[in-house]
Amino acid sequence: MRVLLVEDHQPLVKAYRQGLEEEGFAVDVATDGEEADVKCRSTSYDVIVLDIMLPKVDGLTLLNRWRAAGINTHVLLLTAKVTGPDKVLGLDTGADDYLTKPCDMEELFARIRALVRRGHQQKDPVLRCYDLEIDTAARTVRRAGQAVHLTPREYALLEFLAYHRGKVVTRSMIWEHLYDEYDENTSNVVDVYIRYLRNKVDKGFEPALILTRWGEGYMLRGDDDPPPQK
């Protein structure tokens, strides 16, 4: 999933970005309000982590503008302010969640994952497809009860397919949500990772769950896509 981190304190930018990337998130960074505004309006993010105290344009002003413009991306406010009225104002402005700095990194990750699930109207942290189980909290995968060991990039791709189960996702959609602005790979890498996933998730199991829709993209088998007849 792709996250926009809006923070102007460089040590925190480095720590948060490194932690998020280790958790498998694609991370773009903005260090002032104007840069954040441009990136938010030009890219579809799964979650925005937004500091309130920013140069040029403050976080609450940004959030108010985004909501007025119909931008519904989930926003987690991250700020040093800790008073009750500040939290109320942030939530009433349109924030989806709120954390005060310094925050526990694991809690930050958990809250981001919860917002991603909310964005897909998924309350259960475990995504299921036939005998495949994806635990989005523990970031583990099992097929027919067997553990499937994936790299962070492979896991991110499988999770993205699972959130869109039964629907075709294009290469450009995958690229937009799984790769950040600093990635130097080309879009062809998506096909490579689909092949890696098939070798780990489908090889030796029935039915195949990762499907190709020629000329369109890829999908995780839905309930309306029964296994092929033998």
pLDDT digits (tens, 9 = 90+) for 195-213: 999 999 999 999 999 999 9
Q: State phi, psi for 121 to the nearest 5 degrees.
A: 55, 45
Q: What is the per-residue pLDDT for 189? A: 82
Domains of the chain: 2-119 (3.40.50.2300), 126-220 (1.10.10.10)
Q: What is the per-residue pLDDT for 104? A: 87
Comparing C-alpha atoms, which of 153, 110, 160 is closest to residue 134? 160
97-100/132-135 β-pairing: unpaired
pTM of the model: 0.83
Cis peptide before 102, with omega less than 30 degrees from 0? Answer: yes
Residue-averaged pLDDT of the chain: 88
Question: Is pLDDT at 175 greater than 50 in this prediction?
Answer: yes
